[in-house]
Amino acid sequence: MGSLQTWEEIVSQKRLIRDQLLAPYLVDVAQRLPQVQNPEERTRLEDPSIQKITDIDNVTALLECLEKGEFQAGQVIKAYIQRAVVAHQLTNSLTEILFEDAIEQAKQLDADFAETGKLKGPLHGIPITLKDQFNVRGVDTTLGYVGRSFAPAQEDAVLVQILKSMGAIVIAKTNLPQSIMWAETENPLWGLTTNPRNPIFSPGGSTGGEGALLTLHGSLFGFGTDIGGSIRIPQSTVGLYGFKPSSARLPYQGVPVSTEGQEHVPSAIGPMARDLSSICYMSRLIANSQPWDLDPRCAPLPWNDTAFQELQDRPMVIGLILDDGVVKVHPPIARALLELSEVLKAQGHEVVVWDTSDHAGCIEIMDLFYTVDGGEDIRRDVAAAGEPFIPHVEGLVNRGKAVSVYEYWQLNKRKAAMQKKYLDKWNAVRSPSGRAVDVLLSPTLPHTTVPHRKFRWVGYTKIWNFLDYPALTFPVDRVRAELDVLPSELYVPRNSHDEWNWDLYDANQVDGYPVNLQIIGKKLHEEKVLGAATVIEKLWKSHVDKL
């Protein structure tokens, strides 16, 4: 980055480079109008082979096609590149473009397959996109900061190394907010990313570029990071799947982050996909790749298939979170929770209402952690190029002064005490039959999609970052305006956040938009969460099919 350049000049250069790489693939999008149901139709192309390839939602299904020779890796990558560009034209989701390298990697895979008749690895030819936080050798990792431009990574992140060794091909990186510390996807460098169904709405954040791209079939599989809901919030907003493991489960080495160096609220990397089985498949592959040999912070835990299968073979005990005691969820989310819990009970699973009285206290401590440095880390990055603050980020860094080391230690003690209290509660709760709780079922957000810059309360996601529990968001339904009416009794909000959320609700405005819920497990119990999700989704889909 030239020290004499203005931030606006740097932005112009970065966008020009990106736009030149996109130019060969651009199409006319004037008639590709907002669409609530089947939003992927907005990026549909005339070539039937492109549609056939990119409409496969499942990673293993695409691998089978590649293994049978139905498609070549080059066809797959070019198909996804073309559709990704259309998705970008509609949502502004792409940042760093890796198309040329991706096409070359695909050519090599096709040559190897022609010679051996075998796939190169368990992700042979699978297109991957990454939040612009993962280092990819030779391209920038900006975190949405102008001042991190033109400083290409010297080596791939550990996760990227593992993916490439298995035959996966990274085609692009995707947009995120300035600092990553926001549930919107906006920064001065790349601009605002919009909802894939309708540009007036937010796609969520901070991994909002990934969510938009996946929804419009511009990517088959993505990876994001999550420090307060940044994987689950966008995937809930667009109605797809996002998994936040415990922070030590998957390798974070080579993934820069704001406030890097702090360990009090560790960020986690996790998968994002269009179907659940792909999340399970990818989680198993990465866990079994021995990532702890490349990342010293990664727990040496191979995939535990026994734990994954166990909850699929017996009745579960599920703790049901209806309300976190701070912000009441909107009617469609409450309806979905109650309907799903009734389906589970009808199939022999036990459901117990979960006590959330500790949640507000946990969130209070977590919010103090976010600014223990007085905002210095973020201020330095923003000042590097002289870019303006996004208003939310400015509010964050001005929230409080830096604390002393002693005060910081006391905060860590409070965190540890709350984590122990929550664990003791989980261990003590018993179902009517006397069995322990396996997983929790919860809202992901108190609302569905919202207009831009209207996210405020994310307590339903960041509580699990505070506790470092694995959590999966998954789609269950859509808003049904005729059913999801406000209660006849006037609701009196409990606080300003609750009032803000309740005032947001307009059933007609979000009619048809997706409703997601969340499954949570104890720390490092990723297999149990995904196993439970497999059962729950199967039962729910069977129920819906009968309606």
At residue 4 the predicted structure's pLDDT band, cuts being 50, 70 and 90, is: confident
* pLDDT (average), residues 332-352: 99
Identity at 300, one-letter amino acid code: P
Cβ-contact 36, 238 below 8 angstroms: no
230 annotated binding-site participant: yes
Rounded CA-CA distance 494/506 in Å is 20
DSSP string computed for 379-444: HHHHHTTTPPPPHHHHHHHTS-PPPPHHHHHHHHHHHHHHHHHHHHHHHH-B-TTSPBP-EEEEES
Peptide bond before residue 206 is cis, with ω within 30 degrees of 0: yes
pLDDT at 547: 82
Candidate list 78, 131, 462, 528, residue with the active-site label = 131
End-to-end CA distance of the chain: 59
Rounded CA-CA distance 324/314 in Å is 29
Spell out the SS3 assignment of 44-89. CCCCHHHHHHHCCCCHHHHHHHHHHCCCCHHHHHHHHHHHHHHHHH
pLDDT at 3: 59
Tell me the per-residue pLDDT of 40-66, one tens digit each, with 9 for 90 and over.
999 999 999 999 999 999 999 999 999
pLDDT at 447: 99
Candidate list 149, 179, 202, 206, residue with the active-site label = 206
- Tell me 322's DSSP state: S
Q: Is 246 labeled as catalytic in the residue annotation?
A: no
pLDDT at 1 over 80: no
pLDDT at 407: 97
* Dihedral sign computed on CA atoms, order 386, 388, 390, 393: positive
pLDDT at 186 over 80: yes
User: For residues 4-20, b (16+ Cβ closer than 10 Å) or e, as one string?
Assistant: ebebeebbeebeeebee
Rounded CA-CA distance 272/231 in Å is 7
180 annotated binding-site participant: yes
Cβ-contact 461, 445 below 8 angstroms: yes
* Beta-bridge partner residues of 128: 170, 221
Tell me the per-residue pLDDT of 346-359, one tens digit each, with 9 for 90 and over.
999 999 999 999 99
Nearest-CA neighbor of 34 among 113, 92, 90?
A: 90
Q: Is 12 labeled as catalytic in the residue annotation?
A: no
Looking at the structure, give the CATH architecture of the domain made up of residues 1-32+43-302: Alpha-Beta Complex (3.90)
pLDDT at 2 over 60: no
Tell me the per-residue pLDDT of 118-152, one tens digit each, with 9 for 90 and over.
999 999 999 999 999 999 999 999 999 999 999 99
Rounded CA-CA distance 261/133 in Å is 15
User: In the Cβ-directed half-sphere of 82, how many Cα atoms lie within 13 Å?
Assistant: 17
* Beta-bridge partner residues of 440: 319, 520
Rounded CA-CA distance 290/80 in Å is 29
228 annotated binding-site participant: yes
Residues in the chain: 547
The residue to which tokens 């999550």 are assigned: 226
206 annotated binding-site participant: yes
Tell me the per-residue pLDDT of 193-246, one tens digit each, with 9 for 90 and over.
999 999 999 999 999 999 999 999 999 999 999 999 999 999 999 999 999 999
Tell me the per-residue pLDDT of 368-420, one tens digit each, with 9 for 90 and over.
998 899 999 999 999 999 999 999 999 999 998 999 999 999 999 999 999 99
Q: Is 230 labeled as catalytic in the residue annotation?
A: yes
Locate the DSSP E strands across 108-240.
Answer: 127-131, 169-174, 186-187, 191-192, 221-226
Supply the mean pLDDT for the chain.
98
Rounded CA-CA distance 267/225 in Å is 7
At residue 514 the predicted structure's pLDDT band, cuts being 50, 70 and 90, is: very high
Which residues lie below 8 Å from residue 197, measured CB to CB, with a gap of 6+? 34, 35, 36, 39, 215, 238, 449, 513
Tell me the per-residue pLDDT of 414-438, one tens digit each, with 9 for 90 and over.
999 999 999 999 999 999 999 999 9
Candidate list 93, 202, 230, 246, residue with the active-site label = 230
Cβ-contact 242, 236 below 8 angstroms: yes
Cβ-contact 524, 298 below 8 angstroms: no
Rounded CA-CA distance 300/344 in Å is 34
pLDDT at 70: 98
* pLDDT (average), residues 335-352: 98
